[in-house]
Amino acid sequence: MTARLELVSHKLCPYVQRAAITLAEKGAAFERSWVDLGNRPAWFTAISPLGKVPLLKVDGEVLFESAVICDYLDETLGPRLHPADPLLRAKHRAWVEFGSSVLTAIGTFYNAPDAAAFERAADSLEGKFATIEQVLGDGPWFAGARFSLVDAAFGPVFRYFDVFDRIGRFGILDGKPKVQAWRAALAARPSVAGAVTPEYPELLLDFVRRRGSHLAALAVDVT
């Protein structure tokens, strides 16, 4: 019997998007519920051990942590997105974790309080993408011809840059042709495009403007 799946989501959360992309790649039917993290409903606090999204409800059982959720989905629903070889699979899990470190660096970038902190954050992000440029092959995906869970982790990463590009030219992805090609392929993938609601870009822009940060000041006049 097919399990009933519910993805507890927030409209801007990149970790939620990983799970939504994985579900879409599997062609799995699932429901979505939305949580306002600024005003958490009691039912959410009661079932989320870390107070975070995403959660995946599986016939009422609750899973938390996006990497665990994606691994569970990969083990229970075809087609497999992780490599069959254990060593390669471990490497992919490590690059998913690297994707989490890029998301942390993106948070530091949009929260940087002044120009100096902003430059440091941009340099740090640039360094992470330079590392990625070294490990990418001929594409179109992280590991070549087959879409993997590393791709699911990086689709939400690049989505930030669609809004950052509207604010200014920060040069973070410049001179990295493999990264740029990967970004374009991910943006065109239906599972990635469909992981957010249509208002996502404007919600993110509004979120950035409310940071009180250096980037927020640059974003004031963006239309």
Ligand X SMILES: N[C@@H](CCC(=O)N[C@@H](CS)C(=O)NCC(=O)O)C(=O)O
Helix (H, G, I), strand (E, B) or coil at 159: helix
The position carrying tokens 């200014």 is: 168
Task: Answer yes or no whether residue 65 interacts with ligand X by CB under 6 A.
Answer: yes
Region from 9-17, 120-128, 132-140, 158-166 binding ligand X, contact rule CB under 6 A: 9-17
Residue 25 vs 71, nearer CB to ligand X: 71
Region from 47-55, 133-141, 160-168, 174-182 binding ligand X, contact rule CB under 6 A: 47-55
Residue 67 vs 187, nearer CB to ligand X: 67
Q: Which of 8, 13, 69, 122 is labelled catalytic?
A: 13
189-208 binders of ligand X (CB under 6 A): none
Task: Answer yes or no whether residue 53 interacts with ligand X by CB under 6 A.
Answer: yes
Longest dimension (CA), the chain: 56
Report the C-alpha gap between 25 and 80 in whole angstroms: 10
Report the C-alpha gap between 139 and 7 in whole angstroms: 30
CB of 181 to ligand X, least distance (A): 26
Contact 214, 118 (CB under 8 A): yes
CB of 210 to ligand X, least distance (A): 16
13 flagged as catalytic: yes
95-114 binders of ligand X (CB under 6 A): none
Strand 61-64 with 55-58, pairing: antiparallel
**Binding test (CB under 6 A) with ligand X, winner from 31, 37, 41, 190:** 37
CB of 128 to ligand X, least distance (A): 17
Q: At what angle do helices 149-167 and 14-26 cross, to 10 degrees?
A: 130
Tell me how far apart the terminal alpha carbons of the chain are, to the nearest angstrom: 49
| Cross-strand partners of 144 | 141
**With the CA atoms of 16, 189, 149 and 139 taken in that order, what torsion angle do they form, in degrees rounded to the nearest 10?**
-150
CB of 37 to ligand X, least distance (A): 5
Residues that bind ligand X (CB under 6 A): 10, 13, 15, 37, 51-54, 65-67
Positions annotated as catalytic residues are 13
